[in-house]
Every structure is written in C-alpha cells, then in structure tokens.
Amino acid sequence: MRHRSRSGAFLNGSPVPSSIWEMADRYRVLFEDCPTAMCVTDLEGRIVAANLAACQLFGCREGGLVGTLVADLCVDSGAWQAVKGKLQRRSQCRDCWIRVRREDGSEIDCVIDASVQRAADGNGKEYQFVIRDATGYRRMLEGLRESARRYRLLAETVTDGVWTTDMNQRITYISPAITGILGHTVQEILAMSLDQILAPSSFEPAMRAFQEQLAIEKRQQKDLSRSWTLELQMRRKDGGTVWVEVKTAFLREPDGTPIGLLGVTRDITERKRAEDTLRALSARLVEAQEAERRHIARELHDYVGQALTGLKLSLETLSNVPPECVAGRVGESLRLISELMDRVRDLSLELRPSILDDFGLMAALLRHFDRWQAQTGVRVIFKQKGLPYRRFAPELETAVYRIVQEGLTNVARHAGADSVTVRIVANRRELRLLIEDSGAGFDPDAVLADCSTSGLAGIRERVISLGGRLDVTSGEGVGTRLAVSFPVKERIGEKSKQRP
C-alpha cells in the first residue's frame, strides 16, 4: 500500500487535518488497486494517472501510460474526438465502444465510461475514464449476429414456412415462403389472427393441442425439447384451402419458461391428394374384384350349372331311350360338353390367359384381338415391331396385355368407332404401346380425376408401378390417342414359343 507524506502540508495557511489525508489515501489505494482499468487525463486527453489494471490492459509497465495521448492509443483517431465531443456536450459518456492499440501492436475492443471532473468554478478540470476489455464480448456479439443471419437466411430460403408467435398466438415473425403456400404477403399474415388463417375445421383442434401442451408445462417432469405435429387446413388468399403439416415447439427463456411458439409449416396438399387417390383406387380394386366374382358366380350358376344339370339328366335317362335314339342323345351330350369346355376356357381367359404365360405377349394379344373382334364387330388394326419370339418380364407382359384389354374395352363401351389401331414397338431399352381410335373422345383430365369410375386411372397406376410414362390425348369428337412407354425387362435366355 502506497502512502503520501502528510508533514508540512497546509491549506490556506492552516494545517491539513489528518482525516483528509486518510480519505485521500483510501481513494488512491482504491484507484491503484482496482481490478478495473481506470485513468485520468487533462482536457487535451493526455493521461496524468493510470492504475495498474489500465497498464496491464495496454500491455505496458506500471506508470507507462502517463504522458500518453488517448488519441494515440485509439486505432481510429476520430474515436477520441467523438468521445471528447460527448464529454463537452453532456459531461459524460456511457458505454462508448472504441478500438485501441496495445504496446505490442495488437488491437482490442474496449467499452469506456467517462465523465468530466470540474473545478470549484464549474469549469472542466480533467477527464476520468473507466475502461473494460470487450474483445470477448464483441466476438460473442459478432458470433450471435452471424448465427442469427444464418438462421434467418435458412428460414427465408427453405420452401417451408417458418414462424414464431407470442404466448397469445400473435404472429411475431413469418418467413417469405408463406406467400407461396397461402398467397398472402408477409405483412398481410402479420396483421391476421390465427382464426383468420386456419379453416374453421382446424382452428379448434389447433387450440385444443395448444391447451394440452400448456397443461403438460404445469407438470414437474416434462421434456423441454418436445414438439407436436398437426395436419391442418389453412385459408388461401384466393378463397381456397390448403392442407399443411405444422410442427410446433415452445420458445423458452434460459430457465425453461415458455415465452412463445416456434413452428414450421409444410404444404402437404399433393400428399393428401395422393392419399385420397390411393384410397379411391383401393376401393375401386375391391369393387372390381367383387364384380368379377359376381360375374364368375353368375356364369357358373346360370350357364355352367344349368348345362351340367341338363347333361346329368340326359345321361341318367339314357337307359330308357330306344336304341335307335341313343346315338342322337350321345351326340347332343357331346355337343353340350364341347360348349361347356369353350365356356370354361373363356372364363379362364378372362381371369388370366394361360397363353400369355406359355407363349408370350404377342400370341396372347393376337388371341385376344380375334375374340374381341368377334364379340364387338370392331376391327383391330395391329402393327408391331420387335415382338416376335421375345419374352419380357412377367410383370411387363401382364401390364401391356391388361392395358390393351382395358383400352379396347373402353373403345367398345364409349368410342363408337368402327376400328381401332394398336401399335407396339419394342427395342432393347423401351417398349412403346399406342392405342388410337377416331371415336367420340372425352376429357382426359376429368376422367383421370374421377379415379373411382375410370379404367384409365387403373391404366395409369399400372404404368406408374413399372416406371413407365402415360400420355392421353383426346377431345370431344376427335377420337382418343393413348400412348404408353415402359423400360424393357426381358426374361433372360427365354424366347416365345410358336403361337398355337
């Protein structure tokens, strides 16, 4: 501890009381031993006193700052003039940032508090400074700003809508992606309440989920990082609605207290539409299976069953027939058996043509064209390239056969055409199928949208399942052109047998 001699000191001819000396000593010790950097300058900014902490801050020996101009320590010479100007105008300067140069040439950021010490006449006498090293704080602020900039850039770049609200569900931030989802601008959304954004059917579930989460907050044990996800409908600016998936979590204070909500909103309209389509197609598949079973049951009961009953009666009464009539009765029975065989074969072809498995795609198509032309009277013009003696993967052969079968069925039912062209071209990489007629035509978009009634939707699903492409061109009175292409998959080492 450093002490100043008190002997021989007089003030206005009177000796200075020892109490004043003791107070001065205490303040000097407080100044010199304070761990915070402090210094005193004259009105020109020349340092007249600096404590040990100030010398250590600037990297110099004790007392080394005395006589130095503050302006010479500043990296930016204008910084001292700015501080001096504030002191002259306001008599103090609080939390002023300056960058200073240490004795070794390194630079640090400092925050200073300064004030003017005035004489008895009120004029300024000196400046007093408290200096804090803020280099770490500056780096932390820059890191936080950079982190905030990156997160904001991320939020404003992703296609999902990112948003925050306070605990009253008032929106405090929303990313520009919301415009693509709802059609509103960011400013319009910020001015809207939650019940204006959500469809009526979704507002109540959203509020109920929020209240449930608030109830969880009151428990002793809770997961502070938890989130919850809802599928909701939001109102678009054009009056429509859009399905979104909203994932939400609480924004929290450091102690875990919720202060708002953070959420991500994703447009799932296409996914919901695909789910609806899948459900409709599944229902259509079940309906088709039931219709097919009813058809087979009816055929077996009405034709095959009755024919077998007649055949049984004919054979049972054969012993009672005069000898000269036996041959006729047997011939009639044989004819009935032949009809039954033909009918059973037709039923088998409708279910799954064995010729497709045994002889390949071309043989099965030719057989189908013969039967279909005989049944409908509509001529099939068949053109092909690359089909003879080739076997494709079973799933590809089945898909092409069923698409041709469905396409011809649609021509017979709806087109009203007297002929239809079927063209197939196959090479190593691709099989292309074209079914074209000059009949009544239709609206392809409307028909494909109604997947519960259209065979065209079933064709589309077959094409998609094998990685193919489908193009339907049609219109009222201009006929229909159905073009399909598939990547080729062949049966390794297997060729088609000759058509029976």
Average pLDDT, the chain: 82
Q: By the 8 A CB rule, do 308 and 337 touch?
A: no
Give me the pLDDT at residue 155, please. 67
Q: By the 8 A CB rule, do 439 and 416 touch?
A: yes
Give me the pLDDT at residue 19, please. 65
The CATH number given to 353-500 is 3.30.565.10
For the chain, percent of residues with pLDDT exceeding 70: 84
* Helices (H), ranges, 97-134: none
Give me the pLDDT at residue 290, please. 67
One-letter amino acid at 264 equals V
What are the structural domain ranges in the chain? Answer: 34-139, 158-267, 271-351, 353-500
- Domain 34-139 and domain 353-500, same fold? Reply is no
Give me the pLDDT at residue 237, please. 93
pLDDT at 500 > cutoff 70: no
pLDDT at 276 > cutoff 90: no
Mean pLDDT of 347-355: 69
The alpha carbon torsion through 266, 270, 272, 275 (nearest 10 deg) reads: -140
Give me the pLDDT at residue 294, please. 72
Task: Count the residues in the chain.
Answer: 500
- Determine the distance from the C-alpha atom of residue 451 to the mean position of all C-alpha atoms in its chain, rounded to a whole number: 26
pTM of the model: 0.47
Mean pLDDT of 80-89: 87
Quickly name the fold that domain 34-139 has: Beta-Lactamase (3.30.450)
pLDDT at 55 > cutoff 90: yes
Give me the pLDDT at residue 3, please. 43
Of 145 and 9, more confident: 145
Mean pLDDT of 120-139: 85
Sorting pLDDT into bands at 50, 70 and 90, what band is 350? low
Is domain 158-267 annotated with CATH 3.30.450.20? yes
pLDDT at 187 > cutoff 60: yes
Q: pLDDT digit string (tens) for 166-181?
A: 999 999 999 888 888 9
Q: By the 8 A CB rule, do 372 and 408 touch?
A: yes
Of 36 and 318, more confident: 36
One-letter amino acid at 332 equals E
Rounded distance, CA 332 to CA 326, Å?
Answer: 10
